[in-house]
Structure 1
Amino acid sequence: MPDTTLARPDLTTFCRLDELGLVATGQRLEPERAVIECRLAEPDPWCRSCGAEATPRGTIARRLAHEPFGHRPTTLVLRVKRFSCATCSRFWQEDTTRVAEPRAKLTRGALSWALRALVVDRLTIARVAAGLDVAWHTANDAVIIEGRRRLIDDPARFDGVRVIGVDEHVWRHTRRGDKYVTVIIDLTPVRDGTGSSRLLDMIEGRSKQVFKTWLADRPNAWREGIEVVAMDGFTGFKTATAEELPTAIAVMDPFHVVRLAGEALDVCRRRVQHDIFGRRGRKDDPLYTARRTLHTGAGLLTERQQVRLDALFADENHVEVESTWGIYQRMVAAYREPNREVGKSLMQAVIDSLTDGVPTALVELRKLGRTLRQRAADILAFFDRPGTSNGPTEAINGRLEHLRGSALGFRNLANYIARSLLEAGGFRPLLHAQLR
């Protein structure tokens, strides 16, 4: 580009100091950091009490971490002027609240960079602290406070919620204290096809009362707008929904329904294994060898797997496993049916078949039948309301597991909740708009 005109470098603009009301006066490059000396672009030497012109009384240096440029962290040395008024004997120094909060160690530009790095770029707090050249706790406290102010405490993030999902989540794997929390997910974008699910809130504990209290704390208009609540088989969530959201439809999602049938199949297989051999399964036992094949959908079986199942069910000692496997496959087929009306009829037929006439020997199917009868309305409601699966809730749980692994675990639940909301709260578009 031979005709390109290049302007003289402007350190103030390049380092975005003008956005903070600063002007650069000098710089020093060190191996570990870049140090920029600066001052306020528009000093105010007038007394706020009497309006007289003040007398300069020297300066003080305030060191602040700024957003990094290149591979070096950037440190600002802000020269703050001090003044005195001969008329009213008042002393003060320049107002730097536009640059940073009082006693803060990070500029407002550094806070925006750190929040963007955490929410948009998914960096860890350790990487953020290294980029700013500050202590881990300094970066963590600053980002969480800024994240709450800009994003988490914004009441508008609850607007437009019509479909929610609720599930439990293990936030720590230690023996001390309660390790469970209840997570509430906004499934409205998934139902409407406008986006992905997002984390609405996280509450300590897992019980009916925990979820009921959270719902009761929401405004009446918000609760009246909730149309569907997707959940697992925990009756506490169902009862809390019925009491606090009487007009909402409870939907038991397919993942947990199929998991109930899968657990019944596993228990039946282990029981039959023990009845035949008097011990747990070993690698050469037919039932143990086929344990994963039994959970494969009938339409996805390979030729080798089909031969293995045919040989397994040819043994009359395995008839109870075959019966339980048949129910499991019928449930999977109902959910995979493209026509939802047909799928609903197939699932209704499964529930009806387990209502009466189940042999006493099939204890696992009898137990499964009782559960399906009690939650039949919630199970069948899924087929009338597409996009209300709790699957996105499980996906967010997976993201939180990754977050906890990146952080090498959390000990403070308040920090975990704040970090989880910043990670999975759907704030990336909002943050992009704020920092544009």
Structure 2
Amino acid sequence: MVNDTTRLLGLDGLAVAEVIARDEHAGQGPIVWLATIDEQARVCPGCGVRATRMKEWVITRPRDLPVGGRRCELLWRKRRWICSTAVCPRRTFTEQVPQVPARARLTERLRQASGMAVADGGRTIVQSARDHGVSWPVASAAFTAYAERMLPAEPQPVTVLGIDETRRGRPRWVYDEAARAWQAVVDRWHVGFVDLSHGQGLLGQVEGRTTQVVIDWLQERGQKWKEQVRFVAIDMCTIFKAAVRAALPHAVLVVDHFHVVQLANTALTEIRRRLTVQVRGRRGRKGNREWELRNRLTRSAARMHGAQLDPMIDDLMALPKRLGAPILAAWNAKEDLLDVLALARTHPDRTVIAGRLFRFYDRCAASGLPELERLASTIETWWPEILAFIQTGITNAGSEGTNRVIKTVARDAYGFRNPESQRLRTRCATTRKSRGCLNPA
């Protein structure tokens, strides 16, 4: 008979026969005796015939989730039945219910809760195992089963695809006797594919950072999936560029403007450091005005107050001519490039874009600085992809945010030995929003 205590426990097919209280101050929860009320528990799992003869009574102690904030000790008194079918390989069997299968030490809901805490709750395997009172291998296996069941087998089609790489640990090498060379068995790089249009998060990861692994992942999605990809956002990486051109020739490549700005700031920093060594004979340090302005030089002038911008220009002009004038020219070239990128999402006219771009090229050519000439050559090489960013405003910020989550998960786990486990953990962590796990409702 189902009573209120049975409903409170909530294990289908089992009824609470008796509850024995113990000393809660000593950390001992109550003892709950269970009895079987599901008639299907008498069906033989080998032949499917309902048993009629009992052999003996068996007591098992399955562990379960806390009830009312207290961890109860479950004692299930069940029968061992004799299968009367002559051809059945099972001579005897014990009763089982969906929540507590045969020979199970944990209830299915406890196993699922430990895996859900990792996949949806953002906990580590160690945290989930400690909170649910299970071992590390049990929590890890529960997470793997839960993640494989919840994550979609194939990603939905996307319109804007982001591709970026992230570094994991160190590479592992083995010596190939036949080839007499060292072969990498674990690569230090993972390439991630992110949905930048519909919010699916991380679509998948592949180990390695080569053109072929990117092409292979895209080819596995099928022709219909690839045809719906209209834009691909990448950083200034020739590997990704060649892979997209080979697998998605119809897609428009877009370069993320963050990496363009970073490239300009790197060129400005290299010029400042080189000139400081040439003029002062050492590296910059406190007391050298160009070194004290190193952070302000890499900031955008549009985001600086006049009280900061004007004194910076005056200080650079007050430096020795061999030092201050080139740094100021490099800073102006950097700002010219930022003015070009600032046209994004404003639907500019072609003449406006051409005018600002010419001003940048002209300043780089007139400076005579090799760093600026190299920067101008790089911009010229990647100009079609940069122009696509100005026209569409698409960025790869979603991929960069995904990489930050991936690194956070790796730090919380103190690293991963198994690349497959890391890919599964990171995909769960980066798709919680699309699966509704971060929705308070």
TM-score grouping bracket, smaller chain normalisation: 0.7 to 0.9
- Cα 1:428–1:61 change in 2 (3 A) is farther
Contact 1:168 1:181 (8 Å CA) reproduced: yes
Post-superposition offset of 1:327: 2.1
SS at the partner of 1:164? strand
- Cα 1:397–1:86 change in 2 (3 A) is closer
Equivalence for 2:188: 179
Match of 1:281 among 276, 280, 284: 284
How many residue pairs get aligned? The number is 415
- Cα 1:323–1:78 change in 2 (3 A) is farther
Contact 1:36 1:75 (8 Å CA) reproduced: yes
Equivalence for 1:415: 421
> Are 1:247 and 2:250 counterparts?
yes
Q: Distance in 2 between matches of 1:344 and 1:419?
A: 46
- Cα 1:99–1:333 change in 2 (3 A) is same
> Are 1:161 and 2:146 counterparts?
no
Deviations 1:10-69 (A, max 9, x none): 333333313xx3333344666166654434431333567595652011243444443334
> Are 1:14 and 2:8 counterparts?
yes
SS at the partner of 1:169? strand
Contact 1:351 1:369 (8 Å CA) reproduced: no
Q: Distance in 2 between matches of 1:206 and 1:98?
A: 45
Equivalence for 1:374: 381
- Cα 1:370–1:304 change in 2 (3 A) is closer
Match for 1:392: what amino acid?
G
Equivalence for 2:331: 325
Match of 1:41 among 37, 40, 58: 37
- Cα 1:119–1:53 change in 2 (3 A) is closer
- Cα 1:118–1:348 change in 2 (3 A) is farther
Larger displacement relative to structure 2 (30-39 or 225-234): 30-39
Q: Distance in 2 between matches of 1:14 and 1:146?
A: 25
- Cα 1:427–1:342 change in 2 (3 A) is closer
- Cα 1:360–1:429 change in 2 (3 A) is closer
Match of 1:266 among 262, 269, 286: 269
Match for 2:141: what amino acid?
D
Equivalence for 1:193: none
Post-superposition offset of 1:312: 1.4
Q: Distance in 1 between matches of 2:388 and 2:327?
A: 29
Post-superposition offset of 1:354: 5.3
Q: Distance in 1 between matches of 2:371 and 2:377?
A: 10
Post-superposition offset of 1:399: 1.3
Match of 1:395 among 397, 401, 419: 401
Gaps of 5+ in 1: 1-7, 190-195
Match for 1:417: what amino acid?
R
Deviations 1:277-309 (A, max 9, x none): 121111211121111000111122241453133
TM-score by length of 2: 0.83
TM-score by length of 1: 0.84
Gaps of 5+ in 2: 174-185
- Cα 1:80–1:171 change in 2 (3 A) is farther
Q: Distance in 1 between matches of 2:97 and 2:168?
A: 37
Q: Distance in 2 between matches of 1:52 and 1:126?
A: 42
Post-superposition offset of 1:186: 0.8
Q: Distance in 1 between matches of 2:432 and 2:354?
A: 37
Match of 1:56 among 54, 60, 70: 54
Deviations 1:345-384 (A, max 9, x none): 6654454445567147311111111111111111111122
Percent identity among equivalent residues? 26
SS at the partner of 1:182? strand
Deviations 1:228-267 (A, max 9, x none): 1100000110110011011111100111111111111111
Equivalence for 1:91: 91
Match for 1:405: what amino acid?
R
Match of 1:309 among 294, 300, 313: 313
Contact 2:200 2:434 (8 Å CA) reproduced: no
Contact 1:43 1:94 (8 Å CA) reproduced: no
Deviations 1:69-118 (A, max 9, x none): 45545564444432114463852325636225666544321233234322
Contact 2:18 2:32 (8 Å CA) reproduced: yes
Match for 1:138: what amino acid?
V
Contact 1:334 1:343 (8 Å CA) reproduced: no
Contact 2:95 2:102 (8 Å CA) reproduced: no
